[in-house]
Amino acid sequence: MRIDFVTLFPELVLPALEHSMMSRAARAGIVKFSAQNPRDFATDKHKTVDDSPYGGGPGMVMMAPLVESALTACERTSATAVVLTDPAAPLFTQHDAESLGKFEHVVFVCGHYEGIDERVRTKLCTHAFSIGDFVLTGGELPALLMTDGIVRLLPGVLGSQESHEDDSHSNSGLLGFPLYTKPATFLGESVPEVLTSGNHQKIAQWRRQQQLIRTKKDRPDLFCTADLSPDDLDLL
């Protein structure tokens, strides 16, 4: 898979991918990262990438033709997913991470200033996502978050010890269960007895119950849409 970033700040993006799982995936040849800077395609002496908004108002808007040039340099094809980072777009979910992982080429378009000319969204992008109901200065962190979410799901990235099957938001749509490791007692709190019982059926049941309780309490919105069985209702 190839993941490119159209960004005014490649230095914010590429070094962040040189660590941990993302660099492991790149070294294993599972993913290749690169970046194109719209500023490199500006032709005036000041390398201008933005202009004031039509209709007036504060701030500056990134110009569409330079974003298009950067996208062309990414060698996108009709099969490329071109993803706009945008606080005004639908929220990015685990399901979107799985879907984007099926593309061979994904390009993230990172906005700055007041945002990007709307025609980038309507004419050049195939997807648009927000990473939360808050506004950041630029699209680089959102693009990195989405990249991590996508790449860790690609076959061969997580070892067998690090499965994502039980992760929050996977499969059943419930939150994950609480995890414990040594020491058995910490600040007066002991590990739940069932986890040291060696009874795998009871452990699985306890974990599922915790997932149900947590999701119902902390994310009632997810609980309403979770895929629950009659056994789940008994466990609750």
Ligand X SMILES: C[S@@+](CC[C@H](N)C(=O)[O-])C[C@H]1O[C@@H](n2cnc3c(N)ncnc32)[C@H](O)[C@@H]1O
- Beta-carbon contacts of residue 58 (< 8 Å; ≥ 6 apart): 114
For ligand X, the closer CB: 135 or 187: 135
**Segment contacting ligand X by CB under 6 A, of 94-102, 108-116, 170-178, 201-209:** 108-116
221 is catalytic: no
**Segment contacting ligand X by CB under 6 A, of 34-42, 125-133, 158-166, 197-205:** 125-133
Distance of alpha carbon 1 from alpha carbon 34, whole angstroms: 12
189 is catalytic: no
For ligand X, the closer CB: 141 or 153: 141
104 is catalytic: no
Q: Phi first, then psi: give them for residue 188, nearest 5 degrees.
A: 85, -5
Q: Name the active-site residue from 96, 98, 114, 166.
A: 114
- 116 belongs to the binding site for ligand X (CB under 6 A): yes
For ligand X, the closer CB: 117 or 174: 117
Provide the CB-side half-sphere exposure for 5 (13 A, CA): 28
- 110 belongs to the binding site for ligand X (CB under 6 A): yes
Distance of alpha carbon 159 from alpha carbon 142, whole angstroms: 25
DSSP letters for 40-54? GG--STT---EEPPT
**3-state percent breakdown (helix, strand, coil) of the chain, nearest 5:** 40, 15, 45
Residues, the chain, total? 236
What are the beta bridge partners of residue 5? 35, 108
Question: Could you give the residue ranges of the DSSP H alpha helices within the chain?
Answer: 10-13, 20-27, 64-73, 94-100, 118-119, 140-151, 200-218, 220-225, 230-235
Centre a 10 Å sphere on the Cβ of residue 51 and count the other Cβ atoms it contains: 12
Q: How far is the CB of 75 from ligand X (least distance, A)?
A: 22
- 86 belongs to the binding site for ligand X (CB under 6 A): yes
Size of the site for ligand X (CB under 6 A): 20
- 90 belongs to the binding site for ligand X (CB under 6 A): no
Give burial (CB, 10 Å; 0-12/13-18/19+) of 23: middle
Among 20, 32, 88, 224, binds ligand X (CB under 6 A): 88
152 is catalytic: yes
- 111 belongs to the binding site for ligand X (CB under 6 A): yes
Among 87, 166, 172, 213, binds ligand X (CB under 6 A): 87
Q: Binding string, 129-168, against ligand X, x = CB under 6 A? A: -xxx-xxxxxx--x--------------------------
Q: Name the active-site residue from 24, 39, 87, 219.
A: 87
In the numeric block, which tokens belong to residue 223? 């609980």
Kindly list the residues in this chain that would bind ligand X in the complex (CB under 6 A). 85-88, 110-112, 114-116, 130-132, 134-139, 142
Report the catalytic residues: 87, 114, 152, 167
